[in-house]
Structure 1
């Protein structure tokens, strides 16, 4: 069987690269005309027309609503993106990072995800002192309690945070006061500025925990990674733990398609 020539491979890759640039441009800017794409990508208008015809024939772009025959990403491409998203297993993506943290520190690490107004532990790797973990698999805490839940709440959209605090104020069983609500808002702002949460005995006396958010490809928080340890006198490990947890949370976020600047 004859082998493809180098020139043929190069031409094919060039077409794929150009198509990718067209799709990326539409994803970033929405509806665009062929002329706008040609100008933005510095490509001949004839090349853009040919590329758009090919992409429309497979359903990856469709006609837009503005005047001037604009195009936008097609529903078939959106479906492909959703299929890829649903195939990503958060637990699988985080497992290596959790194991690495537990091995490096000999402490317990766990992964939490939001579930309504609570955060649920869905994965955990035990360290030497397993009793230090605030959550077992399947256990949960309110979003404003504990390092892991707070990391999720702090990086949630503003309306989610506001609605949560409003619900705490209106709680029938254990409502928070206005000063407490203001204090929680300030704490969440500080967490967003720092990028991590540090909890010293908030849930279990003598235990400190450090957590960082895990972001998806849209820049939205979908989980948190927490490292939990016994607090020793003159213990400075929390500073080291912050760097380690931030590193692994960033690693998992990148695996899920997150890029700095998305949020």
Structure 2
């Protein structure tokens, strides 16, 4: 339910405005955003102008529409430094890159989304990418499904029950009844796979990083072009290197129970 603007202070209004800029709606006009938030156009215009003056949003000179500014890139190094998994994961990510020559990325759950908090790009000319800060829902792609599968059962069930599952491609699983057994299989085998669920032509492999309680900290993942993903020998090697590194990183983060099994395919 939308909260009326007169119940919010100026900081809360500014935060609501900034949080409206999401991957599914990255650009807003003043009146459209005002209607979406149930704010007055004058209030939205005033706050956006202040945000623009400080680099938090940019405005297209022709359309007069707004998008997020470049100031957020200044926060990436700070966020990475403050996150213990990022510091610990880097040498393992470098090992995976060396062994597979594919793009490696590290992801966490933030709210109800997957967000990429670190990456190392493949040195190959034909490569898949995963930009820092990239977000996606938790039901599409190997990284997202890995995070969801190794979340607490309560979190996963609440997510599947309450979240609107919208297809990102024609390969996206949109039926919670079909997604539940896949999540169970991911948890059993210790890794997730996907091809074209989020972006056509992109394959992905992902394994969990667990803490001392066996709870999910992050998912370490590989992004591959479809042509190399379909190379069974290469995919098997990628899975082996990925799962080995994820187990070692989990142990470094305090995980000491039986590790998820290595891939069998």
TM over 0.5: yes
TM superposition score category, shorter chain reference: 0.5 to 0.7
Find 2:246's aligned residue among 249, 254, 257: 249
Q: How does 1:135-214 map to 2 (within 5 A)?
A: 135-168=130-163, 171=164, 174=166, 180-214=175-209
Q: Which residue of 1 aligns with 2:237?
A: 240
Q: Which residue of 1 aligns with 2:6?
A: none
Name the SS for the 1:122 alignment partner.
strand
- CA shift at 1:244, angstroms? 1.0
Q: Tell me, in whole angstroms, the C-alpha distance in 1 between the residues paired with 2:235 and 2:176.
A: 27
Q: How does 1:1-263 map to 2 (within 5 A)?
A: 89-129=84-124, 132-133=127-128, 135-168=130-163, 171=164, 174=166, 180-232=175-227, 235-236=231-232, 237-261=234-258
- CA shift at 1:128, angstroms? 2.2
- CA shift at 1:196, angstroms? 0.5
> Cα–Cα, structure 1 residues 262 and 232, in superposed 2: closer, same or farther, change >3 Å?
closer
> Cα–Cα, structure 1 residues 114 and 218, in superposed 2: closer, same or farther, change >3 Å?
same
TM-score (norm 1): 0.60
Q: Tell me, in whole angstroms, the C-alpha distance in 2 between the residues paired with 1:262 and 1:218.
A: 12
- CA shift at 1:130, angstroms? 7.5
TM-score (norm 2): 0.60
1:132/1:207 contact within 8 Å kept: no
Give CA deviations for 1:169-205 in whole Å, capped at 9, x if unaligned. Answer: xx3x849xx9811001011011111111011122222
Structure 1, unmatched stretches of 5+, are 1-86
> Cα–Cα, structure 1 residues 163 and 124, in superposed 2: closer, same or farther, change >3 Å?
same
Which one has the largest radius of gyration? 1
Determine which structure has the larger helix proportion and give its number: 1
Give CA deviations for 1:132-156 in whole Å, capped at 9, x if unaligned. Answer: 4453111111111111111110011
User: How many pairs align?
Assistant: 172
1:103/1:127 contact within 8 Å kept: no
The CA RMSD over aligned residues, in Å, is 2.5
Structure 2, unmatched stretches of 5+, are 1-81, 168-172, 261-265
> Cα–Cα, structure 1 residues 138 and 130, in superposed 2: closer, same or farther, change >3 Å?
farther
Q: Tell me, in whole angstroms, the C-alpha distance in 1 between the residues paired with 2:256 and 2:177.
A: 31
